[in-house]
Amino acid sequence: MTVGALVAINSSASPTQPGATTEALPPSTESSRDSAPSTGSQRTLGLVVGGVGIVGLAAGTYFGLRSQNKEDEAKSNCINYPTNCSSEGLAANDDAKSAAGYATAGFIVGGAALLGGILLYATAPSEEPQDVGSLRVDPMVGSNGGGLSVAGRW
């Protein structure tokens, strides 16, 4: 995409005087939008991945609570948990183990996705250029000696 052309003018001579030159520079091949870092896409991706992480943690919580309830149900249907259980107690125990596995997977995947989303969002380039700090050191000389003056900006 061609944005425009730049013209350099030698200002040491007037355009009406001999020796004045103008020189056309090649047109720019990148638009300012193309050359700017794409912060929106990385931040959006970070929000989406973080949202998936929150859903994973919510699913892990749901299945963790379900596992706890099924285990309580299994205990109430067993004489000496986990042995001497009725068929309802055995089924509830199996359901509790399955739900516990889903809860573990939900917490692992959800936590990893949430952390990844936070990292993606936090490491996205800033939208505006940030001021760079500066440090200035100046020598000072006086009738009684000398020194340094230090000034900084952050």
Contact 29, 23 (CB under 8 A): no
**pLDDT at residue 55, as a whole number:** 97
CA distance 105 to 98: 11
The whole-model pTM stands at 0.57
> Comparing 103 with 154, which gets the higher pLDDT?
103
Average pLDDT of the chain to the nearest whole number? 79
Cβ(140)–Cβ(147) under 8 Å? Answer: yes
Alpha helix positions (H), the chain = 32-35, 39-76, 87-122
Higher pLDDT, 91 or 144: 91
Instruction: Residue 135: name the closest of 149, 117, 118, 123 by CA.
Output: 149
63 CB neighbour count, 10 Å cutoff: 20
pLDDT, position 36: 47
- pLDDT tens per residue across span 126-150: 776 666 677 777 787 878 877 777 7
Instruction: Please state, in angstroms and rounded to a whole number, the distance separating the CA atoms of residues 43 and 48.
Output: 9
48-82 pLDDT, tens digit each: 999 999 999 999 999 999 999 999 999 998 888 87
